[in-house]
Structure 1
Amino acid sequence: MLMIGLKTCDTCRKARKALAEKGIDVNYRDVRDDGLPENLIAEIMGAVGDKAVNRASTTWRGLSEEGRGRPLASLLAEHPTLLKRPAIRSDAGWTVGWTPAIQQALLG
């Protein structure tokens, strides 16, 4: 399982802890430290579409109207912290966020 997030994000910490408690091995990628390669952006966008972008984030609010109008994939490449977190690739595919439905699907 691959999880993409921020090590300082409380939601990502909760998700990592819950998955570890279930004995699920997680390969963790921090977008601030590791970036977000184009192939992963394409995979995530292909799976969840524009839900991949966190429009409630500080980064999004800091963008100009012109900046917000750019293609989302290019925004994620330039500002990887715009990614809705955590983004998780499991055998079932990609999910973004840590909603109760996602927790149920991943944790059983």
Structure 2
Amino acid sequence: MTTLYGIKNCDTIKKARKWLEQQDISYQFHDYRADGMDKDWLISVAQQIDWQQLLNTRGTTYRQLSDEQKADMTETKAIELMCQYPAMIKRPLLIHQQQYLLGFKADQYQALLA
């Protein structure tokens, strides 16, 4: 089973979904906002992908946090914030046969899904 995680209106998600469909690869899409976010699931993902890579510090949601919220960032604090604000999770996250791929690069998707 291949699952793509993200937010449906994200441009990078749109590119990843288009690529998967063009390659005729079946996948399930999980929208963090529409389908919800489970804290335990996010903790388990953070065991596979470093939480610092998962945390999207370049997005507007993160940049709008107060300096106090950003200060002394720990894994626990980051996971709490990502659960509260799913847009702060870097996307897309592709999970295929228990292999995790963060972001979208066609050549990486091809290598993983070939």
TM-score, normalised relative to structure 1:
0.87
The residue identity in structure 1 corresponding to 2:62 is: W
- Cα pair distance change 1:100/1:53, threshold 3 Å: same
* 3-state SS, counterpart of residue 104 of structure 2: coil
CA distance in 2, matches of 1:104, 1:45: 24
**1:102 aligns to what?**
108
Q: Percent identity?
A: 30
Q: 1:60 aligns with which of 59, 62, 79?
A: 62
Q: Once structures 1 and 2 are overlaid, which stretch shifts more, 94-103 or 43-52? A: 94-103
Q: Work out the CA distance in 2 between the residues paired with 1:72 and 1:54.
A: 10
Partner of 2:87: 81
Q: Report the CA distance between 1:102 and its aligned residue.
A: 2.6
Q: TM-score, normalised by structure 2?
A: 0.83
Shift of 1:106: 3.2
Work out the number of aligned pairs and report it: 108
Paired amino acid for 1:31: Y
User: Counterpart amino acid of 1:64?
Assistant: S
Letter in 2 for 1:90: H
Larger radius of gyration: 2
User: Which consecutive residues of structure 1, in runs of 5 or more, have no partner in the other structure?
Assistant: none
Structure 2: 5+ residue runs without aligned partners? Answer: none
Residue type matched to 1:12 in 2?
I
